[in-house]
Chain A
Amino acid sequence: MFNKAEDMLKLCTKKNKRISEIVIEKEIIMNKISRDDLLDKMKNVLHIMKESSNAALDKEIISVSGLTGGDAKKLEEYRKSSNPLSGDIIVSAMARALSTSEVNASMGKIVAAPTAGSSGIIPSALLTVKDKLNLSDEQVIMGLFTAAGIGEIIAKNATVSGAEGGCQAECGSAAAMAAGAIVEMAGGSPEASFHAASFALVNILGLVCDPIGGLVEYPCALRNAYGVINALISADLALAGVKSLVPFDEVVEAMYKVGKMMPEPLRETALGGLAATPTGENIKRRLSH
């Protein structure tokens, strides 16, 4: 069993196994489930993630409120027809993250990862790396277990809820989970996975949750697009050998404490940040009539 990254890394060393394997072993014991059933369940998760991260690329999907949508398609068309400044892989990853966020806002089917508001980041990061490295579905499924292990550590020691810890707790956690997973998928060590996860949190420490009108739309979808890029660059930093000066467990604690210090208007109440701008207030009024 593991409560912290420190425990996880000790287990990885002792058993000479990857994070995903330690997570699978724990889950089998904890939930008395067979390995095959567990992998099948995750296969189904991957299936839904693939669908949600593709659905809005060639079809405009508009939210229930009518406030947002269609941006994943715009990005995908731009990527195909232009020479994106930040490169093909970045724009493609953003489009996929937006796609899941748009599916979510339109009452489509998604996998909360770790929450519905941050559900675009993990699918896009893992599928982008799958394409880049020509990996199999099985390898992506292992990546999902690594992501889950990191998410469990954050949920146990801090929070993944925007109402409790701001956007850093939702999109930050999702990016950390994704970063650690893609490092493992790219052949990085368990230590490197946690360095990457640390970078992802460090990069957006203090980010507030300020959804306009209280809806999971704006800036949530944008922050999913940014979150996947955060995961990709954090993974590259770690794979290049850059180390997080502050260990992951302490970064998680810092994130939690920052969340606790955050005033309530900045924690999913739609009373601060972008939600409290004149435009945000106008939209809120319009939506409630």
Chain B
Amino acid sequence: MAEYGVFDVIGPIMIGPSSSHTAGAARIGRIAREILGTDFIRVIFYLHGSFAKTYKGHGTDKALVAGILGMGPSDENLRNSFELAKKQGISFEFIETDLGYYHPNTVKIVFKSKDNNDSYIIGSSIGGGSILISDINGNKVEFTGDYPTLLVKYHDQKGMIARISTILANNDINIATMKVSRENNIATMVIETDSPIEGNIVDEIEKIEGIIYIKGINPIMR
């Protein structure tokens, strides 16, 4: 039986009309910005399932754009996000598509930089404003954005998990969940923690030999 708190049932405070199609969409947009950075001039949203069918009436489009501009799901400027994006010189496009076997409320967000570099994430809004990020630039991942999250990619070798978790433990950070997957000898690790991961800790882990990529992501507020 899941535990519920008072503000799980009287909350969240959010911009309507739908916790899954609006609040969740804003959070996916926001986490895309956290992961992919702010160096983008154009964004393409590939909308899948119910997102593709009802995005206009639910304001999913406005919520997604608000998210990539850094707004959270209770920001009253959400409905003005198209104008705000234009002011910042960011163009965007929505394409209805079929991404395959994904949750009905799924979006693939592609960031295009000035020099035409593409990067993307795939995220699903799984109900009540909860989200699940499942792909970052082709790397299969699985995390919710509810916790501080550490993404690490490295050349697989013995002892890597121990070395990374030791650094976290030495900095008094408790691991909530950890998932590791591997493809062609490259491992992808997703760690959700109970307390924030400061930049110096990320720097320390980055120094371990064999690390290809590391990124700390702040929790995305509800």
Where the two chains meet, the residues of A that have a C-beta atom closer than 8 Å to any C-beta of B are: 3, 23, 27, 30-31, 38, 41-42, 44-45, 48, 63-65, 67, 103-117, 119, 122, 144-145, 147-149, 151-152, 154-157, 160-161, 163, 177, 213-217, 270, 287-288
Q: Please tell me if the beta carbons of B17 and A104 are within 8 angstroms of each other in the complex.
A: yes
* Bound complex: CA A111 to CA B16 (Å): 9
* Bound complex: CA A112 to CA B10 (Å): 6
**In the assembled complex, which residues on chain B have CB atoms less than 8 Å from the CB atom of A27?**
5-6
**In the assembled complex, which residues on chain A have CB atoms less than 8 Å from the CB atom of B1?**
3, 156-157
* Bound complex: CA A103 to CA B8 (Å): 21
Q: Please tell me if the beta carbons of B17 and A216 are within 8 angstroms of each other in the complex.
A: yes
Q: Please tell me if the beta carbons of B10 and A105 are within 8 angstroms of each other in the complex.
A: no
**In the assembled complex, which residues on chain B have CB atoms less than 8 Å from the CB atom of A3?**
1
Scan B29-67; emit 1 where CB is below 8 A from any A CB, else 0. 000000000000000000000100110111100100000
Using A109-B74, A155-B8, A163-B127 as known contacts, say yes or no to A215 and B15 having CB atoms under 8 A apart: no
Q: Please tell me if the beta carbons of B12 and A112 are within 8 angstroms of each other in the complex.
A: yes
- Distance in Å from the Cβ of A109 to the closest Cβ of chain B? 6
Scan B2-26; emit 1 where CB is below 8 A from any A CB, else 0. 1111111111111111110011000
Using A3-B1, A103-B16, A116-B17 as known contacts, say yes or no to A64 and B57 having CB atoms under 8 A apart: yes
Q: Please tell me if the beta carbons of A115 and B13 are within 8 angstroms of each other in the complex.
A: no
Where the two chains meet, the residues of B that have a C-beta atom closer than 8 Å to any C-beta of A are: 1-19, 22-23, 50, 53-54, 56-59, 62, 74, 76, 78-79, 127-129
* Bound complex: CA A115 to CA B50 (Å): 18
Contact of A156 among B2, B74, B129 (CB under 8 A): B2
Contact of B10 among A30, A45, A213, A288 (CB under 8 A): A45
Q: Please tell me if the beta carbons of A64 and B58 are within 8 angstroms of each other in the complex.
A: yes
- Distance in Å from the Cβ of A64 to the closest Cβ of chain B? 5
Contact of A107 among B2, B3, B62, B129 (CB under 8 A): B62
**In the assembled complex, which residues on chain B have CB atoms less than 8 Å from the CB atom of A116?**
14, 16-19, 22-23
* Bound complex: CA A114 to CA B2 (Å): 16
- In the complex, besides A45-B13, A114-B9, A116-B22, 13 extra interface pairs with C-beta distance below 8 angstroms are A23-B6, A64-B57, A106-B16, A110-B16, A111-B11, A111-B12, A112-B11, A112-B12, A116-B16, A154-B9, A156-B1, A156-B2, A214-B54
* Bound complex: CA A140 to CA B16 (Å): 24
**In the assembled complex, which residues on chain A have CB atoms less than 8 Å from the CB atom of B74?**
109
**In the assembled complex, which residues on chain B have CB atoms less than 8 Å from the CB atom of A152?**
4-6, 8-9
**In the assembled complex, which residues on chain B have CB atoms less than 8 Å from the CB atom of A151?**
4, 9-10
**In the assembled complex, which residues on chain A have CB atoms less than 8 Å from the CB atom of B8?**
152, 155
Q: Please tell me if the beta carbons of B19 and A215 are within 8 angstroms of each other in the complex.
A: no
